[in-house]
Amino acid sequence: MNSSKVCKTNRLHNEIGGYIELEFNSQSKPFHNAIAINCARNGLKYIIKAFDIKKINVPYYTCPVVWEAIEETGCEIQYYKINKDLMPECEFDNENYILYTNYFGICSNNIKKLSKKYKNLIVDNAQAFYMKPMGIGSIYSPRKFFGAPDGGYVYCKKIPNETYEKDCSSHTRISHLVKRIEGGANFGYDDFNKNEDSLRKTEIKYMSDLTAYILSHINYKEAKEKRLRNFNYLHKILKKYNKLKIALTDDIPMYYPLYIENNKLREELVRNNIYIPKCWRGGEYKQYNSILQNCLLEQDLSNYIFPLIIDQRYNISDMQKIIKIIKDVI
């Protein structure tokens, strides 16, 4: 791509979606009591090490990097299915360790029920930055909500018997954020993928000073209000098409998950510069694809839930653009 041409197109390039860019607003300190680490998947490792967990129940329908992180600790994975309400389909023994994913950031009611029932619940809040911690541990991924090169937060009721260094390599993972400012999401996408790959290989470390600085300059209150406003607007219009029943309480979602069986919608959204993720379809994790072969609901969710972008970069007119494209396709 020619950089001189890229710069001329500037100011968010009429795009909706893709990874979050850099932001510097008012100073604030999120998660006062959290342990700030270098990425969310290492937060899960931190909890496993703290409790010396040997076996853990994990949903089939979750990000394969979660499975990968657990395997790296030597912990055994016991997979479980979910039902159409995104709840575990099975019952667990009370002593079992259970990882539950806060899907799309809309599952606070499910988490409250599970935390009352199981004493060893661990909550993956990577898609629910604003969710209060519950269970014996909760993990968060701020870079899914804000423009940061890495970083994670973990709440844990125990501390591992290990010491960790501070991460000092965040400067090597920031190029995709800078490139997005000058050329848009596509211009920095290769760098973004390289960053993701490098994070898969990192050891547990505390959050870098660079990432901590960036995250101290986010207007969290404003971002929260905009995200919820956009979600509610989409839901008001799209709920009649949505196979997924949504009832928010204190949730601040990451996406609006539109569950609709349509094979053309994603292509049409991309054609209009609206980029939405493909949640948990295996992708490059070929070794995990066979795990999902007998999980028909999970396959259906992966294929037909369209996580629509609702974050603080966008307003109601952007939501109207998304709705128009959806209505034209369906």
Q: Report the phi/psi class of residue 11: left, alpha or beta, with left for phi > 0 and alpha for psi in -120 to 50.
A: left
* CA gap 241, 39 in Å, rounded: 36
CB 96 within 8 A of CB 120: yes
Length in residues, the chain: 330
> Which residues make Cβ contacts (< 8 Å) with residue 221, sequence separation at least 6?
none
pLDDT, tens digit, 9 for 90 and up, residues 214-238: 999 899 999 999 999 999 999 999 9
- Asked whether residue 205 is assigned to any structural domain, the reply reads yes
Here the tokens at position 258 are 């539109």
Looking at this protein, which amino acid is placed at residue 67?
W
Can you give the CATH number for the domain in which 301 is found?
Answer: 3.90.1150.10
* CA gap 134, 54 in Å, rounded: 21
Can you give the CATH number for the domain in which 39 is found?
Answer: 3.40.640
Looking at this protein, which amino acid is placed at residue 247?
A
Query: What is the bridge-based pairing of β-strands 137-140 and 152-156?
Result: antiparallel
SS3 of 35, please? strand
Q: What percent of the chain has pLDDT over 90?
A: 75
> Which residues make Cβ contacts (< 8 Å) with residue 246, sequence separation at least 6?
106, 235, 239, 257
pLDDT, tens digit, 9 for 90 and up, residues 186-214: 899 999 999 988 898 899 999 999 999 99
- pTM (2 d.p.): 0.89
End-to-end CA distance of the chain: 34
* CA gap 188, 193 in Å, rounded: 9
Domain finish residue from 182, 215, 248 = 215
- Asked whether residue 3 is assigned to any structural domain, the reply reads no
> 77 and 157 in one domain?
yes
pLDDT tens digit at each of 330 positions of the chain:
343 334 333 444 567 888 887 666 666 766 668 999 999 999 999 999 999 999 999 999 998 889 999 999 999 999 999 999 999 999 999 999 999 999 999 999 999 999 999 999 999 999 999 999 999 999 999 999 999 999 999 999 999 999 999 999 999 999 999 999 889 888 999 999 999 888 988 999 999 999 999 999 899 999 999 999 999 999 999 999 999 999 998 899 999 999 999 999 999 999 999 999 888 755 455 556 677 777 889 989 988 999 999 999 999 999 999 999 999 999
> 144 and 174 in one domain?
yes
What is each CA distance from 45 to 14, 51, 84, in whole angstroms? 39, 10, 29
> 243 and 200 in one domain?
no
Domain finish residue from 215, 247, 269 = 215
> 257 and 202 in one domain?
no
* Domain region containing 29: 12-215
| Structural domains of the chain, count | 2
> 205 and 65 in one domain?
yes
Here the tokens at position 193 are 């993928």
pLDDT, tens digit, 9 for 90 and up, residues 130-144: 999 999 999 999 999
> Which residues make Cβ contacts (< 8 Å) with residue 288, sequence separation at least 6?
64, 67, 282
Domain finish residue from 191, 215, 239 = 215
SS3 of 259, please? strand
* CA gap 109, 250 in Å, rounded: 9
